[in-house]
Amino acid sequence: MTENSTPIATRERTVDGFVREFLRELNFGQGVDLSRASVNDQYLAMARTVRHYLMVRWLETLRRQGELQAKSVAYLSAEFLLGRQLDNALLASGLEDIVEEGLSSLGIDLATLRDAEVEPGLGNGGLGRLAACFIDSLATMNVPCIGYGIRYEYGIFQQTFVDGWQVEKPDDWLALGSPWEFPHPEAAVRVNFGGSVEQYQADDGVVRRRWVPGWSVLAVPYNYMVPGFENGRVNTLRLWSAQATHAFDLAIFNSGDYAEAVRAQTFAENITKVLYPEDSTPQGKELRLQQQYFFVAASLKNFIDEVLPEGFDLHNLPDRINFQLNDTHPVIAIPELMRILVDEKGWDWDDAWSVTSKCFAYTCHTLLPEALEVWPVDLLGRLLPRHLEIIYRINDAFLAELRQEYPDDELRVRRMSIIAEYPVRAVRMAYLATVAGTKVNGVAELHSQLLRDKVLNDFSEYYPDKFTNVTNGVTPRRFVRLANPALSGLITEAIGDGWVTDLDKLSGLEPLAEDAEFRRRFREIKLHNKHRIADVLATRDGTVVNPDTMFDVMVKRLHEYKRQTLKLLHIVSLYEQVTSGRLDIGSVTPRTFAFGAKAAPGYLLAKQIIGLINAVGRTINEDPALEGRLSVVFPANYNVTLAETLIPAADLSEQISLAGKEASGTGNMKFMLNGALTIGTDDGANVEIRRLVGDEHFFLFGLTEPEVEQLVDRGYHPSAYYETNASLRRALDLIASGAFSNGDRAVFEPIVSNLLHEDRFLALADFQAYIDAQARVDAAYADPEQWTRSAVLNVARGGFFSSDRSMRDYIDRIWHTPPVPPA
């Protein structure tokens, strides 16, 4: 190490050392003394103190990577749903005990400071949370990785309920300060938009084309630490924030139009103002394309100009980096790299393509046709005219190749075109990613197979070796070790603490499923976790839940394909049977039905379903006929933080999407690892969960994907199920009667008629199978010893679902980036 790069002295890892650092931060960072410090002051000082402890490791990681230039991963994602940072930083740095003791010596409760942290909600759901799990795993596995994304000023909206209806509030997560980020305004890069393309004669006499942009913004990087678990590595997450360029407003300032200048400033800064809250149906809005290009252009430029050493020969780029495209949102990076190489570096097209087509790989997260992004060429051409030309040229070359391969199949060639002609001419981003990427992966076995056989079938025939699967995973650090300290303690006591970084070790718990004392303690912990969530809900919302009931939990975005309505029909049907006297309430298993779900603000049916869940909940919770044995809770604003207390309390995990629609699911894995049993369809990663845990410990129901296809092909008539199934009919009739809407039949009519006449996701077709499976759940739950045996086995057999394993699969199948062990 050279003298001038010697890092600051390592902080003293003792209680006294911590207390000193903390008080120093409070005094000199926050400008308050302890007696006058607010909880927020204390939290900020605390966060800064903890990050100081990680700083030496971060600088060392950066220095070492600068020296080694090891092959790395750049994970490009429009969303990183990080969750709270404090606990994770404490865990990674091994400071938990020191900090807890140090604070308590000052009369401060660590838990209070924890609760002061506002989680950065920079994602919608599964896709964004997956990105956060992946960067955690890469850091823990010593793999060099940089995450690139967007620093939205407002993250996913705050959900509130007004009379049971969702009302969105802006998520002003930065309001009280954001101690985990390091802004670098001096490292801002310019990102261009608009304008036109011109032809010119270059110095070498060759006629070339280049982009003459119409306007630009600055991209300011904010760096975040991504600490590995107890391994000394700290990787980087770099999120970009838009700022108006000075050149841009100066001209207008000079013309004297101050108001216009300020307006122009806001316009530029709008780009990173807010996260789009759609999680499955992109709206094709111009601002969204601006966001995508904005972060991708800044990231490529940053990587090439700043991360790579000076003089790096870009012909070797594929040996140095993998740009992983998290769905299609960052796919505009492909023509951007072509533009850099051809227009800025003056390369031949073929050389540029040869490098570009080795640098990217694409992960698809969906099967819903409406979720596949397409950008109308008029919009794309207006915002990024040179990129559109480049895409056309990529497509021309691709179509020429296809015509050679399929000379007599023009229909196929057109089907595969990157440019769609109907209903408007548009760029199919998934096709562009597939053509340019080295690999295309789905996120669970079934999903990858359906991608190959259906959504991208022509492509998998043409490029059979490009297609692969990597089943999703979740980080055991956050979702077991931190979220479930009691269970973690029990596991560690039984098999040691190696499971935190080697989750396959959980298999060591298998024999303990037969140990009555272990099962008793396991049950005790579940009950403890139910009390914990009960306390949180009581404090947060004043909601009462009974810990002595089965916790039946469905948490995920609200979407028709996920079928929250099916769950609701089960609840309404139970209620109807009890209140009509056909079912004795004394024979009903006491259950707490918990929901958590945000609906995209423009998805009206989804918002109605939220209204109905709350309305049914209100009625059931207030009806004395149920004797408190059934209740519904729907805490508003389900997010990562709430997941961390709700999931460990669950007995039953609801994973009931229509087969063939949920790409993977990751909540399903979190429940399994926290000892819940799953009731689920043969969909996404449920397939693998069931295979691993065994049929006896999983409640399978419903149509399979091929059966769904057959039924739809034959012609699906939901009303036929209504007519032939009496309990289904009674449940739907009860909703239609206005029983949950003060007699007003109109309120929930759209839901009922949608189910009766459309039911795109076959909820009615699966109703009876679901009810039967729930009866099996009740029977199993009636035997606590058997149930706990199954719950323990779910944990013991869940090791596969660590995101560390997902990362190993990406490394072996796609990236080929060996870990870099610490020096």
- Residue 101 near ligand F55 by CB under 6 A: no
Is 670 annotated as catalytic?
Answer: yes
Q: Does 282 sit near ligand F55 (CB under 6 A)? A: yes
Task: Decide: 82 and 132 in contact? Cβ < 8 Å.
Answer: yes
Residue 562 a catalytic site member: yes
Q: Which two tokens stand for residue 100?
A: 């807890």
Based on the shown chain and the rule CB under 6 A, indicate whether residue 684 belongs to the binding site for ligand F55.
yes
CB atoms within 10 A of CB 99: 24
State the nearest-atom distance from the C-beta of 667 to ligand F55, in Å.
Answer: 8
Q: Which of residues 465-494 bind ligand F55 (CB under 6 A)?
A: 472
For residue 557, indicate whether it is catalytic.
yes
Residues with Cβ < 8 Å from 312, sequence gap 6 or more?
Answer: 304, 320
Q: Which residues of 560-582 are buried (b: 16+ CB within 10 A; e: fewer)?
A: bbbbbbbbbbbbbbbbbbbbeee
Instruction: Judge contact between 439 and 468, C-beta under 8 A.
Output: yes
Tell the residue number behind the tokens 């990681």, with chain if given.
Answer: 61
In sequence order, which residues have a C-beta less than 8 Å from that of residue 30 and are 6 or more positions away?
37, 41, 44, 45
Residue ranges in 693-752 that form contacts with ligand F55 under rule CB under 6 A: none
What string of H, E and C letters represents the secondary structure of 42-58?
A: HHHHHHHHHHHHHHHHH
Binding flag, residue 278, ligand F55 (CB under 6 A): yes
Give yes or no for residue 130 binding ligand F55 (CB under 6 A).
yes
36 in active site: no
Options 156-164, 220-228, 663-671, 782-790: segment touching ligand F55 (CB under 6 A): 663-671
Closest to ligand F55 by CB, 402 vs 685, is 685
End-to-end CA distance of the chain: 12
Residue from 11, 84, 365, 570 carrying the catalytic annotation: 365
Among 233, 365, 452, 478, binds ligand F55 (CB under 6 A): 365
The residue from 102, 121, 125, 179 that contacts ligand F55 (CB under 6 A) is 125
Q: Is the alpha carbon torsion for 342, 346, 348, 352 positive or negative?
A: negative
One residue of 25, 41, 87, 662 binding ligand F55 per CB under 6 A? 662
Nearer to ligand F55, 336 or 662 (CB): 662
What minimum distance in Å lies between the beta carbon of 658 and ligand F55? 12
Between residues 110 and 687, which has the closer beta carbon with respect to ligand F55? 687
Q: How far apart are CA 41 and CA 35, in angstroms?
A: 11
Q: Phi/psi zone of residue 142: left (φ > 0), alpha (ψ -120 to 50 degrees), beta?
A: left
Q: Which of the following is catalytic: 666, 681, 788, 817?
A: 666
Q: Which stretch binds ligand F55 (CB under 6 A): 69-77, 158-166, 192-200, 658-666?
A: 658-666
Interface stretch with ligand F55, choices 43-51, 240-248, 279-287, 380-388 (CB under 6 A): 279-287
Task: Check residue 132 for interaction with ligand F55 (CB under 6 A).
Answer: no
Rule CB under 6 A: is residue 126 a binding residue for ligand F55?
yes
Q: Is 525 among the residues that bind ligand F55 (CB under 6 A)?
A: no
Could you give the CA distance from residue 178 to residue 471 in angstroms, rounded to a whole number?
33
Candidate segments 277-285, 502-510, 542-550, 776-784, binder of ligand F55 by CB under 6 A: 277-285
Contact status: 664 vs ligand F55 (CB under 6 A) = yes
Contact between 443 and ligand F55 per CB under 6 A: yes
Looking at residue 87, the DSSP 8-state letter turns out to be: H
Contact status, residue 453 vs residue 467, Cβ threshold 8 Å: no
Residue 683 interacting with ligand F55 (CB under 6 A):
no
Residue 661: active-site member: no
Report whether 388 contacts 425 (CB < 8 A): no
Q: Which of 113, 122, 491, 663 binds ligand F55 (CB under 6 A)?
A: 663
In a 13 Å sphere around the CA of 406, the CA atoms on its Cβ side amount to 15
Beta bridge partners of residue 145, listed in sequence order: 73
Q: CA-CA distance, 677 to 794, in Å (whole number)?
A: 7
Contacting ligand F55 (CB under 6 A), which of 93, 280, 324, 754? 280
Q: What is the DSSP letter of 658?
A: P
Looking at beta carbons, which residue is closest to ligand F55?
A: 126
The stretch near ligand F55 (CB under 6 A) out of 123-131, 479-487, 586-594, 690-698 is 123-131
The tokens of 215 are what?
A: 């306007």
Number of residues that bind ligand F55 (CB under 6 A): 20
Residue 371 binding ligand F55, by CB under 6 A: yes
Do the beta carbons of residue 248 and residue 125 sit within 8 Å?
A: no
Four-residue CA torsion sign, 385, 386, 387, 388: positive
Residue in 532, 670, 690, 797 annotated catalytic: 670
Indicate if 301 belongs to the active site: no
How far is Cα 618 from Cα 626, in angstroms, rounded to an integer?
13
For residue 329, the minimal CB distance to ligand F55 (Å) is: 7
Of 81 and 98, nearer to ligand F55 (C-beta) is 81
| CB closer to ligand F55 out of 280 and 573 | 280
CB of 281 to ligand F55, least distance (A): 7
Helix (H) or strand (E) holding 781: helix 763-781
DSSP H or E segment with residue 75: strand 72-76
Q: Which of 556, 559, 570, 789 is catalytic?
A: 556
Which residues are near ligand F55 by CB under 6 A?
124-127, 130, 278-280, 282, 365-366, 371, 443, 472, 662-666, 684
Catalytic positions are 365, 556-557, 562, 666, 670
